[in-house]
Amino acid sequence: MKVLIAGGGTGGHINPGLAIAKYIREQQPHSEITFVGTQKGLETKLVPREGYKLETITVRGFKRKISFDTVVAVKELIQSFFEASKLIKRIKPDVVIGTGGYVCGPVLYVAAKKGIPTLIHESNAFPGVTNRILARYVDYVAISFKDSEKYFKQTAKLVHTGNPVRQELLNKNKADAKSKLDAVKGKPLIVVMGGSRGARKINETVAEMLNNYFKGEFNIIFSTGEQQFETINSSIKIDEKYKSLVKVVPYIYDVDKVYAASDLMVCRAGAITISELQTMGIPSILIPSPYVTANHQEHNARSLERDGGAVVILENELNAAALYTQICNLISNENLLSKMATNATKNRMLDSASKIYSLILSAYENKRKS
């Protein structure tokens, strides 16, 4: 089976596609899987790294205010439909899957109009405009939150699958993972991630915390995002005796290993992040991004908080002292951390990739019969 997966921009759009691709390949080892994204997204690094071919087309999102960029975006959108059509004609996929990002619009629309079996996966509780439009044309819409149902008119196409996460996240040994990361023994490991592109407020707050409050209480892996790495890394001036406890990196590629080793996560509340925390059973301090559509990250964060698996700090309430205090309060109470870890798994769905694969086969068989 030839599969084309469209998705890109951020890790939250790419990683579900990689999880789906891996499951397809496990079920059909001879399947041909190709990803399509843009030259500007994180997919240019993540997809080839996992051994899949990446094709690119030219497309960008629209800004809310009309400007010269809007004219360029319209031009690129028109161009993207021609590029998507040529790509699909050349690859001749048996099925096309969309996992989010602007690239999905032209690719899934063209595929659906050509009669190719299509499926989109919506990872967030509040679906994006692109997926709400595409829902009219594709065969199935896989949703991750039941709350998403009310935003789609095409209810017959909706299937609640959850968010697919990579199976490498499971069955990891914490002690082995910590050893491979050179974490100092006897101290908990805190992992800070602001998303694939970084989060300036989180980065600046953590840097201030390390400079002014940190006294070697824990190991910390601090992922800044590539764009902010140089600035943030150079701003951190900690005591020499604590440097072995602190690792500042632009991006975490071996995220499964880091998740396995983590005792507490400090991160945004994107849908995929929430699913990965649930899958691994990791206690977390969630700082939802206030810059996302319909404030959907706070909705995601509150759901995990209600389960007892997370503490939520809103960005406008975030400061170095408060974050340091919250981290120290949690890591000093092993029973509480253990309970949070258990609570985090309450609503996890471990068979998401399998459910999506079943939808792919169903769409494929239905088109063959028609």
Task: Count CB neighbours of 178 within 10 A.
Answer: 22
Using the 8-state DSSP alphabet, how is residue 165 labeled? -
Work out the angle between the directed axes of helices 200-212 and 320-331 (0-180°, nearest 10).
Answer: 70
Entry field: residues in the chain: 370
Buried b (16+ CB within 10 A) or exposed e, 284-310: bbbbbbeebeeebbbbbbebbbebebb
**CA proximity to 20, closest of 124, 123, 99:** 99
Q: List the CATH code of the domain at 2-164+350-369.
A: 3.40.50.2000
> Nearest-5° angle of CA 301, CA 305, CA 306?
120
pTM for the whole structure:
0.79
Residue 32 burial (10 A CB sphere; 0-12, 13-18, 19+): middle
Binding residues: 10-12, 124, 166, 196, 252, 297
Pairing of strands 32-37, 2-6: parallel
CB–CB of 118/88 below 8 Å? Answer: no
Q: Where are the alpha helices (DSSP H) in the chain?
A: 11-27, 43-49, 68-91, 104-113, 129-134, 174-180, 200-212, 229-235, 255-261, 271-280, 296-307, 320-331, 334-344, 352-369
From the annotation, which residues make up the binding site for UDP-N-acetyl-alpha-D-glucosamine?
Answer: 10-12, 124, 166, 196, 252, 297
Domain locations along the chain: 2-164+350-369, 171-344
pLDDT at 125: 79
Element (H, E) at 114: none
Residue 303: predicted pLDDT: 87
Note down pLDDT in tens along the chain; length 370 residues.
999 999 988 778 898 999 999 999 999 999 999 999 999 888 999 999 999 999 999 886 655 555 556 556 677 778 889 999 999 999 999 999 999 888 999 999 999 999 999 999 998 878 888 999 999 999 999 998 887 898 999 899 999 999 998 777 777 788 888 888 888 899 999 999 987 677 999 999 999 999 999 999 999 999 999 899 999 999 999 999 999 999 999 999 888 889 999 999 999 999 889 999 999 999 999 999 999 877 889 988 998 999 999 999 999 999 999 999 999 999 999 999 999 999 999 888 889 999 999 999 999 998 887 7
Measure the CA–CA gap between 105 and 224, rounded to whole angstroms. 30
d(CA 311, CA 302): 9
Is CATH 3.40.50.2000 the classification given to domain 171-344? yes
Q: Does this chain's domain 2-164+350-369 share its CATH topology with 171-344?
A: yes
Q: What pLDDT is stored for residue 269 in this prediction?
A: 94
The separation between CA 39 and the C-alpha centre of its own chain, rounded to angstroms, equals: 19
The encoded tokens of residue 309 equal: 């698996």
Kindly state the tokens that stand for 234. Answer: 């150079």
Task: Compute the distance between CA of residue 352 and CA of residue 348 in angstroms, rounded to an integer.
Answer: 10
3-state SS assignment for residue 254: coil
pLDDT given for residue 198 in this prediction: 78
C-alpha 321: how far from chain center:
28
